[in-house]
Amino acid sequence: MFQTEHTPRSERVALHRVRIRDDFWSYYIGLVKDVVVPYQWEALNDRVETAEPSGAVRNFRIAAGLEQGDFYGLVFQDSDLAKWLEAVAYLLEADANPQLEEIADGLIDVIALAQGEDGYLNTYFTLKEPDKRWTNLTECHELYCAGHMIEAGVAYYRATGKRKLLDVVSQLADYIDGVFGTKPDQLPGYDGHQEIELALVKLYEATGEERYLRLSRYFLDQRGQQPNFFQEELRRRGGKSHWPGNGDRIDLAYHQAHLPVREQETAVGHAVRLMYMLAGMADVAALTGDGAMLEACRKLWDNIAGKQMYITGGVGSMPQGEAFSFDYDLPNDTVYAETCASIGLIFFAQRMLRISPESKYADVMERALYNTVVGGMARDGKHFFYVNPLEVDPKACGGANHKFDHIKPVRQEWFGCACCPPNVARLLASLGEYIYTVQDDTVYAHLYIGGEAELNVGGRAVKLVQTTEYPWDGTVRMEVQPEEDGRFTLALRLPEWCPKAALTVAGEAVAVEDEGRIQDGYIRLERQWRPGDVVELKLAMPVTRMHSHPLVRANAGKVALQRGPLVYCLEQADNGEHLHELVLPQASELSAEREDGPLGRIVTVRAKAVRVSERGWSGGLYSPSAQPSEQPAALKFIPYYAWANRGEGEMTVWVRER
């Protein structure tokens, strides 16, 4: 079925082969293991009193015949459970945990009982609308839920070697493969929320069954074709909507179903859906050698990263539809920037890196990871942001101006639609997948995270031991341990934020600027490596003034600070209220300081600035003569990810400059 010449693609690195030991990340991964996953298990079981009930476990128990009751929650409630299970699988893949595995095994037994004879698996439709299967793909997330369960099944199989859930999801996928397609007795449809596309690729890789890859490509190929499936489906169900208020109009662009996927050039619609779709497209393009699909991935990447992404790696400029808006439209206050969308962006970046290791993908991956994703979770592991604004005034939230109704000035405990917390958990639990890729005899280091990796580099076992205080310090030490002496290449990413790098290999200086040394943003070290060779990379990490492209209206005349991968922000807790009054002169010195406090051991940035304030203002609301007064102000910036951990207050990333 597929073209013979296809793009080479790096293999996934198993998590037990990449052990993270890192001051920064070990905390978060420990949090996922010790707090997030146990806490979410309680939440999924409706045992967290202060949070909205989930119903997710109970729905499966009811569908399995183990309990009486009604379905509770949103139509896609199953996916919360699947994402949690996937996170658990990643934890187990890294480290044995018999107690957790027992819980998971028990849950998988319930899931298996909840599956229909024909392979169908979805508690909403099974319990609530059994005769309405596949009648509202547009709105009801049936294939989306299936996709998440497939991801969980694959991850659990990889982690434990246990096939039970893999068999369940294979049966489910086989059943779906029969239902969907372009044959006369099939439904020529696809899901309103993309997800199954990337999941089927994983299932293909885990099972070797090519039909799953073919089914994934079918879903992508069919999307946006005419006559439009969603419109036909709407007609068939008489214009009725699952969601009150959706009405009888379908916004095809919201679902990225306005055009065939290969013809899409601009990011539109629901951000998470697009990200998941693009991850799936990159997978399918690589595995089938589909140049046109890969080209669409590249174009959409460039549009997103070049015109529609926040400096924090957030995507989705508007709450309506949780969606992209248009090029250079990046409002900081009414932004959406869902945590899940940045996670999806990381998925997409990782796929692109596996196809073509160019640092632009890793730069964005790092930006999203160190800012929006880690900022999406509180340091207690129990509170989460769904929306990640870059400018907040709590006075404006909570109904004061309804355009901010979606903005929460502090992280919330759990959500009625709880997609983000388990998504953060599964990403952090699988962070080891994102650090390295290997292509032929080159090993690429994309992220600087301490720990040990055992890699297969062109058939040769190579152990890498990375030590770093990143993101606080730009020094990275890497010990290279091939099983024996051998020639291969170590390619180290030179981050876009780094103005100057110095390098020693086995104690000898290597000129980074040598002809051909840097390719696609990676410093290539091709040599005969000996066990114990040490590479020391010193990435200069100054505090940097960042400016936006001048067409970004929201940031005109403003500056943001960045140091290493971390974007900084001002908070009221450090700088008082009315942050819009602060102006940072171009000449101000920016000094970074290591600080230990309630936000952990972080680097803060201090600068002298000016407050243009209402103090002594003699005019009314508008004045021809009154001038605001100016006072000196000592600013303190903290990393963006750490905001809102000290109660409600104003926050801003972009600051007026002069």
Positions in the binding site for its own copies (CB under 8 A): 245, 305-307, 309, 311, 317-321, 325-326, 329, 331, 334, 393, 395-396, 400-403, 497, 499, 544-553, 556-557, 560, 562, 578, 580-581, 583, 612-614, 617, 619-628, 656, 658
Smallest gap from residue 639 Cβ to its own copies (A): 16
**Dist CA 195 CA 278 (whole Å):** 10
124: its two tokens: 């909403």
Complex with its own copies: residue 483 or 617, whichever CB lies closer? 617
478: its two tokens: 């890497």
Smallest gap from residue 311 Cβ to its own copies (A): 5
Upper half-sphere CA count for residue 380 (Cβ side, 13 Å): 13
Smallest gap from residue 423 Cβ to its own copies (A): 24
265 is catalytic: no
- 456 three-state secondary structure: strand
Q: CA 376 → CA 280, 381, 601, distances in Å?
A: 24, 10, 19
| Per-residue burial over 437-456, b = 16 or more CB atoms within 10 Å of its CB, e = otherwise | bbbeebbbbbbbbbbbbbbe
- 644 three-state secondary structure: coil
**Dist CA 397 CA 402 (whole Å):** 7
Choosing from 93, 197, 322, 358, the catalytic residue is 322
**Dist CA 635 CA 591 (whole Å):** 11
Complex with its own copies: residue 594 or 658, whichever CB lies closer? 658
Sequence-separated (6 or more) residues with CB below 8 Å from residue 15? 90, 93, 94, 159, 430, 432, 433
Smallest gap from residue 25 Cβ to its own copies (A): 24
Sequence-separated (6 or more) residues with CB below 8 Å from residue 597? none
420 is catalytic: no
**Dist CA 328 CA 550 (whole Å):** 9
> Locate tokens 């502090």: which residue?
410
> Locate tokens 């998590």: which residue?
15
Reduced 3-state DSSP string for 276-290: HHHHHHHHHHHHHCC
CB 7 within 8 A of CB 355: yes
H-run or E-run covering 250:
none
Complex with its own copies: residue 319 or 486, whichever CB lies closer? 319
H-run or E-run covering 346:
helix 339-355
Q: What angle do CA 32, 36, 40 make, to 5 degrees?
A: 140
**Dist CA 456 CA 18 (whole Å):** 12
Smallest gap from residue 334 Cβ to its own copies (A): 6
Residue at 403: amino acid letter: K
Complex with its own copies: residue 156 or 404, whichever CB lies closer? 404
Smallest gap from residue 500 Cβ to its own copies (A): 12
Report phi then psi at 90, rounded to 5.
-65, -40
Complex with its own copies: residue 336 or 522, whichever CB lies closer? 336
Residue at 364: amino acid letter: V
Smallest gap from residue 581 Cβ to its own copies (A): 6
Smallest gap from residue 244 Cβ to its own copies (A): 8
Neighbours of 609 (CB within 10 A): 23
Choosing from 397, 419, 498, 569, the catalytic residue is 419
Complex with its own copies: residue 177 or 650, whichever CB lies closer? 650
CB 126 within 8 A of CB 116: yes
Smallest gap from residue 305 Cβ to its own copies (A): 7
Complex with its own copies: residue 516 or 624, whichever CB lies closer? 624
Complex with its own copies: residue 318 or 435, whichever CB lies closer? 318
Complex with its own copies: residue 95 or 405, whichever CB lies closer? 405
Mind telling me the catalytic residues?
322, 419
